[in-house]
C-alpha cells in the first residue's frame, strides 16, 4: 500500500461524506426558499412500488424506474409525513456532521425529542427508506445502521474513522470469534490486507469452523459470516472490499433455494433496496452448495417443503434466474426436490468441507 493510495482512499471517503451533506443541504435550501416565498415545499420521491422496480441488465441489479410521487406539505394528509421526512434529513445531517451513528430503533425514539411523532418503528423505518430514495444513498451513508448480526475475520488492517477512535488501527485476525460488522467497521478505512479473496459464508457455525481450520491462512482469505441474508452493512463492506482492495468475492451457502438467493442478493441486490446502487457486488461468485453438488458429493438431504418449492417457481420468473448456473441449479432443485445444508459435509468428517470441498470450489470459481 502506497501513501498515495491511502491518501486517495481518505479523499474518497471525505468526498462521500461531503456528497451526503451537500445533498441534504440542497434539499434544505430548496425547502427554505419555498417557505420564504410563501410556497408549500415538496419532495419528489421515486416510487418504490413493485410496478416501478425493473431489472437493469447492464447494471446487473434491480433499480427503480422513472415514476415518482410528490410529497407536498400543502396536502394536509401528507403534511405529517413530509415533516417526518424533513426531520429525518435534519437528523441525518446532524449524525453525519457529528459522525455519530444511530440504529433504526434509535431513530424511532430520537424523533420524540423533536415533537415528531411516529406511530411505530415501521413508520419511521419507512421514512428512512424514503430518504434513501430521495438521496439515492443507503442509510449507512447518513449513519443509520440496522442491528448487527454478521461478522468478519481475516488479515485486514483497518483504521477507525468514528469519533473517539479516529486513527486507531486494528487487525481483524486478532480475535478468533471474528468482529461484528457494525457502523465503525463499515465506515473504517480499509488499509491493507494479505488476503487474495473474500469468502462469504451463510452460517455462523461454519464461520467458526473456517476460523478454527485457518481457512484465512490456508486460502489467503477474509471470511465473512452473513448470518443468513446479508445485512446491508455487510453488503456495503463486501462491496468496499471488492472495489477498494480489489478482492474477488465468493459465496458459500446452504444447498437450497434460499441459499441460492442469498448469493444473488449479494451479487445484484434486492427489490427492497432497488433505490440504492451501492450495495451490490456484481462480480461476486456463488460457488455452492449447488443442487448438482448434492448428488455429486452424496450429501445427506432433507426433502423440500412446499414453501421451498413455491420459492423455486417464484424465482424462475425473476429475470436474473434466466440463464447460467442460476437457472440450471434452480431446475435441479425442482427436479430432485431435496436440499442439503453446509453442515451436511460433516458426514465425511468435521474438516471435510475445508479440506476437500472448498479447494475444489475455489478452483472452480476461477473459471466462473
Interface residue list for other proteins (CB under 8 A): 24-25, 27-29, 31-33, 35-36, 38-41, 72-77, 79-80, 82-83, 86-87, 89-90, 93-94, 114-116
Are 62 and 56 in contact by the 8 Å Cβ rule? The answer is yes
Least Cα distance to 109 among 99, 124, 96 occurs for 124
Least Cβ distance, residue 38 to other proteins (angstroms): 4
User: Ramachandran region of residue 190, left (φ > 0), alpha (ψ -120 to 50) or beta?
Assistant: beta
139 vs 239 by CB, closer to other proteins? 139
Strands 42-46 and 68-72: antiparallel
Least Cβ distance, residue 190 to other proteins (angstroms): 31
66 vs 77 by CB, closer to other proteins? 77
Are 10 and 189 in contact by the 8 Å Cβ rule? The answer is yes
128 vs 237 by CB, closer to other proteins? 128
Least Cβ distance, residue 101 to other proteins (angstroms): 19
Q: HSE of 214 in the Cβ direction (CA atoms, 13 Å)?
A: 2
Of 32, 109, 165, 313, which one is the catalytic site residue? 109
Least Cα distance to 28 among 124, 12, 20, 277 occurs for 20
Least Cβ distance, residue 11 to other proteins (angstroms): 23
Q: CB 19: neighbour CB atoms within 10 A? A: 13
Which DSSP category does 164 fall into?
T
Take residue 174 and report the three cell numbers written for it: 486478532
Q: Is 109 a catalytic residue?
A: yes
41 vs 269 by CB, closer to other proteins? 41
Least Cβ distance, residue 212 to other proteins (angstroms): 50
Measured between its terminal Cα atoms, the distance across the chain in Å is 29
34 vs 343 by CB, closer to other proteins? 34
d(CA 278, CA 268): 10
85 vs 133 by CB, closer to other proteins? 85
Least Cβ distance, residue 72 to other proteins (angstroms): 7
Are 71 and 55 in contact by the 8 Å Cβ rule? The answer is no
Bridge partners (DSSP) listed for residue 189? 159
Bridge partners (DSSP) listed for residue 55? 62
Catalytic residue IDs: 109
Amino acid at each position: 500500500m502506497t501513501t498515495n493510495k491511502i491518501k486517495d482512499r481518505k479523499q474518497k471517503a471525505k468526498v462521500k461524506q461531503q456528497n451526503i451533506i451537500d445533498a441534504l443541504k440542497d434539499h434544505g435550501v430548496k425547502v427554505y426558499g419555498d417557505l420564504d416565498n410563501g410556497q408549500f415545499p415538496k419532495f419528489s420521491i421515486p416510487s418504490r412500488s413493485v410496478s416501478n422496480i425493473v431489472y437493469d441488465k447492464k447494471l446487473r441489479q434491480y433499480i427503480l424506474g422513472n415514476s415518482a410521487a410528490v410529497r407536498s406539505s400543502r396536502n394536509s394528509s401528507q403534511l405529517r409525513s413530509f415533516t417526518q421526512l424533513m426531520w429525518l434529513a435534519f437528523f441525518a445531517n446532524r449524525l453525519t456532521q457529528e459522525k455519530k451513528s444511530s440504529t433504526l430503533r434509535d431513530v424511532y425514539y430520537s424523533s420524540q425529542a423533536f415533537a415528531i411523532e411516529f406511530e411505530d418503528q415501521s413508520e419511521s423505518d419507512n421514512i428512512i427508506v424514503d430518504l434513501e430514495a430521495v438521496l439515492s444513498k443507503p442509510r449507512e451513508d447518513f449513519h443509520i445502521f440496522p442491528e448487527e448480526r454478521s461478522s468478519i475475520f481475516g488479515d485486514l488492517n483497518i483504521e477507525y474513522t468514528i469519533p473517539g477512535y479516529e486513527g486507531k488501527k486494528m487487525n481483524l485476525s486478532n480475535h478468533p470469534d471474528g468482529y461484528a460488522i457494525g457502523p465503525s467497521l463499515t465506515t473504517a478505512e480499509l488499509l491493507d490486507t494479505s488476503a487474495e479473496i473474500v469468502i462469504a459464508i451463510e452460517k455462523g457455525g461454519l464461520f467458526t469452523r473456517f476460523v478454527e481450520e485457518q481457512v484465512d491462512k490456508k486460502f489467503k482469505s477474509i471470511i465473512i459470516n452473513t448470518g443468513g441474508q446479508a445485512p446491508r452493512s455487510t453488503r456495503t463492506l463486501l462491496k468496499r472490499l471488492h472495489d477498494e482492495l480489489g478482492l474477488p468475492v465468493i459465496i458459500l451457502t446452504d444447498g437450497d433455494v434460499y441459499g441460492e438467493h442469498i448469493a444473488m442478493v449479494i451479487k445484484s441486490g434486492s427489490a427492497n433496496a432497488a433505490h440504492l446502487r451501492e450495495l451490490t457486488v456484481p462480480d461476486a461468485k456463488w460457488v455452492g452448495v449447488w443442487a448438482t453438488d448434492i448428488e455429486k458429493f452424496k450429501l445427506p438431504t432433507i426433502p423440500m417443503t412446499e414453501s421451498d418449492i413455491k420459492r423455486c417457481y417464484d424465482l424462475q420468473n425473476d429475470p436474473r434466474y434466466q440463464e447460467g448456473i442460476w437457472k440450471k441449479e434452480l431446475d435441479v432443485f425442482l427436479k430432485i426436490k431435496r436440499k442439503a445444508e453446509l453442515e451436511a459435509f460433516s458426514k465425511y468428517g468435521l474438516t471435510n468441507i475445508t479440506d476437500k470441498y472448498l479447494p475444489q470450489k475455489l478452483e472452480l470459481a476461477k473459471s466462473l
